[in-house]
């Protein structure tokens, strides 16, 4: 049993990295992830880990150095946020295409313009097609737990893919919460010794990463990359089962809250799920059968399992903290994909909330649930996509 502490999300994730003790870390500071890597670099300076820290001149270089170190055969981690993730963009696809299991906590923050440092999901949603596994975290505890599991998932011999661990900027990264830490030895045993595959530093067996592959085989490589993603689900569940034995904390592909007998439900990611659960409770006490589904694994997206969990509902609201201008929110699109093959699809609405860190308040969830009550009665949707929490 480890200790119970009061820490911020950044502190908790930095602690998970200290316990894992990766071989190499290349990073560049960006609000609100700066503090995470700053804490981790203190662990390096204080001799608490033997990670090689590569200080670089940009996030593009940070991810490039991580790719090089991972191809060389190291266990590699970094962290970033917002514009930093955007600057890594081209390298993200290379990390995934080269099948390098880099672990990267991403502290979710809005993208410019206008410039904004607060939490929303436009950064990681923009990277959803990069081939990285994405895990989302409601709390500092979940971010800590996900970060540790991410190493096991990404490094699994059937997978070998990079993993993003997402948590909300400031709301989680800078707020102090109760977190249960595992013992150092428990974490070390859980992640195990790193077993590189095709490391460049195995100089007796020279090899090349990143070849030119044109019309002859590129299409086939991408088909193979999708296949790997189809195996991730089972590994995530297997790792979660082991993690539960260790920590007593249960994780799945998504979390459901009072959903089994619900008639209406909100689907929502990350910290806003906490607020929504409170509102679900208050509606339950009024006799309204409300529930919640919070995806944990967004890439690959567990379409079938989510569809099964939502199939009995009379109305669903999908709340997105990211937008696709001229399109639906990214989470809504996935839920549409999930329910597409269902008979008698429940009516759904998409509500965009909390962009650029706009507070998500209980009354926003209440308004959405009230609307769902009406939709469940009439089966009629007035406005499919709309924005909530807008100032008058």
Partner 1 sequence: MKEPLWKTLTPGSVILEPGSSAKFKTGSWRSMRPRWIEENCIQCLFCWIYCPDMSVIVEDGKRKDFNYDYCKGCGICALECPGKKGNKAIVMEKEGG
Give CA angle at 110 (293, 153), nearest 5°: 50
Closer CB to partner 1, 205 or 215, in the complex:
205
Taking the complex as a whole, how short is the minimal distance between the CB of residue 104 and partner 1, in angstroms? 18
**Are 107 and 79 within 8 A, CB to CB?**
yes
Site residues for partner 1, 201-260, by CB under 8 A, read 205-211, 213, 217, 220-221, 223-224, 227-228
Closer CB to partner 1, 193 or 204, in the complex:
204
**Are 389 and 361 within 8 A, CB to CB?**
yes
Closer CB to partner 1, 84 or 196, in the complex:
196
Taking the complex as a whole, how short is the minimal distance between the CB of residue 219 and partner 1, in angstroms? 8
**Block residue for tokens 């490039």:** 64
Distances (CA, A) of 51 to 75, 223, 293: 9, 35, 38
**Are 170 and 356 within 8 A, CB to CB?**
no
Burial environment of residue 18 by CB neighbours within 10 A (0 to 12, 13 to 18, 19 or more): buried
Q: How far apart are CA 123 and CA 383, in angstroms?
A: 26
Site residues for partner 1, 118-177, by CB under 8 A, read 160
Residue choice 42, 45, 189, 198 for contact with partner 1 (CB under 8 A): 198
Closer CB to partner 1, 209 or 303, in the complex:
209
Residue choice 6, 176, 197, 201 for contact with partner 1 (CB under 8 A): 197
Site residues for partner 1, 317-376, by CB under 8 A, read none
Closer CB to partner 1, 18 or 160, in the complex:
160
Closer CB to partner 1, 228 or 361, in the complex:
228
Closer CB to partner 1, 223 or 286, in the complex:
223
Taking the complex as a whole, how short is the minimal distance between the CB of residue 213 and partner 1, in angstroms? 6
Give DSSP secondary structure letters for 227-256.
HHHHHHHHHHHHHHHHHHHHHS----SEEE
Taking the complex as a whole, how short is the minimal distance between the CB of residue 85 and partner 1, in angstroms? 22
Taking the complex as a whole, how short is the minimal distance between the CB of residue 365 and partner 1, in angstroms? 43
Among 79, 271, 281, 37, residue whose Cα is nearest residue 177: 271
Closer CB to partner 1, 112 or 218, in the complex:
218
Taking the complex as a whole, how short is the minimal distance between the CB of residue 353 and partner 1, in angstroms? 38
CA-derived radius of gyration, the chain: 21
Taking the complex as a whole, how short is the minimal distance between the CB of residue 59 and partner 1, in angstroms? 22
Site residues for partner 1, 87-106, by CB under 8 A, read 97-100
**Are 159 and 238 within 8 A, CB to CB?**
no
278 in contact with partner 1 (CB under 8 A): no
**Are 228 and 120 within 8 A, CB to CB?**
no
Q: What is the DSSP letter of 285?
A: H
Closer CB to partner 1, 91 or 266, in the complex:
91
Taking the complex as a whole, how short is the minimal distance between the CB of residue 20 and partner 1, in angstroms? 22
Taking the complex as a whole, how short is the minimal distance between the CB of residue 224 and partner 1, in angstroms? 5
Site residues for partner 1, 61-90, by CB under 8 A, read none
What are the structure tokens assigned to 102, written together?
């880099």
Cβ-Cβ contacts under 8 Å for 75 (sequence gap 6 or more): 20, 22, 23, 24, 101, 151, 155, 194
Site size for partner 1, by CB under 8 A?
22
Closer CB to partner 1, 209 or 387, in the complex:
209
What are the structure tokens assigned to 283, written together?
């509606």
Taking the complex as a whole, how short is the minimal distance between the CB of residue 197 and partner 1, in angstroms? 7
Distances (CA, A) of 257 to 23, 233, 290: 38, 21, 9
Q: Which positions lie near partner 1, rule CB under 8 A?
A: 97-100, 160, 197-198, 205-211, 213, 217, 220-221, 223-224, 227-228
């Amino acid at each position: 049993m480890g200790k119970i502490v009061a820490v911020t999300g950044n502190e908790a994730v930095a602690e998970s990295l200290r316990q894992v003790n990766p071989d190499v870390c290349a990073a560049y500071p960006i609000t609100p992830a700066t503090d995470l890597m700053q804490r981790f670099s203190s662990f390096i300076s204080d001799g608490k880990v033997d990670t090689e820290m590569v200080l670089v001149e940009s996030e593009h270089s940070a991810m490039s150095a991580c790719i090089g170190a991972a191809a060389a055969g190291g266990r590699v981690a970094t962290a970033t946020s917002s514009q930093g993730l955007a600057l890594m963009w081209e390298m993200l696809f290379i990390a995934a295409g080269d099948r390098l299991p880099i672990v990267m906590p991403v502290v979710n923050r809005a993208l410019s313009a206008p410039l904004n440092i607060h939490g929303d999901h436009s950064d990681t949603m923009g990277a959803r097609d990069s081939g990285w596994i994405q895990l989302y975290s409601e709390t500092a505890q979940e971010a800590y737990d996900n970060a540790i599991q991410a190493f096991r998932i990404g490094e699994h011999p059937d997978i070998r893919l990079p993993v993003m661990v997402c948590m909300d900027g400031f709301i989680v990264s800078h707020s102090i919460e109760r977190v249960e830490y595992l013992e150092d030895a428990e974490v070390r045993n859980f992640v195990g010794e790193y077993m590189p595959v095709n490391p460049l530093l195995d100089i007796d067996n020279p090899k090349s990463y990143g070849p030119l592959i044109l019309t002859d085989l590129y299409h086939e490589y991408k088909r193979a990359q999708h296949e790997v993603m189809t195996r991730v689900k089972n590994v995530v569940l297997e790792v979660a089962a082991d993690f539960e034995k260790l920590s007593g904390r249960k994780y799945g592909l998504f979390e459901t809250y009072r959903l089994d007998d619900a008639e209406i439900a909100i689907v929502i990611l990350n910290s806003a799920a906490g607020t929504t659960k409170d509102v679900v409770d208050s509606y339950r006490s009024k006799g309204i059968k409300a529930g919640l589904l919070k995806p944990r694994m967004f890439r690959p997206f567990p379409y079938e399992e989510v569809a099964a969990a939502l199939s009995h509902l009379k109305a669903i609201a999908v709340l997105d903290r990211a937008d696709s201008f001229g399109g639906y929110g990214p989470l809504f699109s996935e839920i549409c994909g999930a329910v597409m093959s269902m008979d008698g699809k429940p009516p759904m609405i998409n509500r965009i909330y909390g962009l650029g860190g706009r507070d998500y308040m209980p009354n926003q969830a209440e308004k959405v649930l009230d609307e769902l009550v009406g939709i469940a009665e009439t089966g009629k949707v007035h406005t499919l996509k709309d924005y909530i929490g807008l100032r008058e």
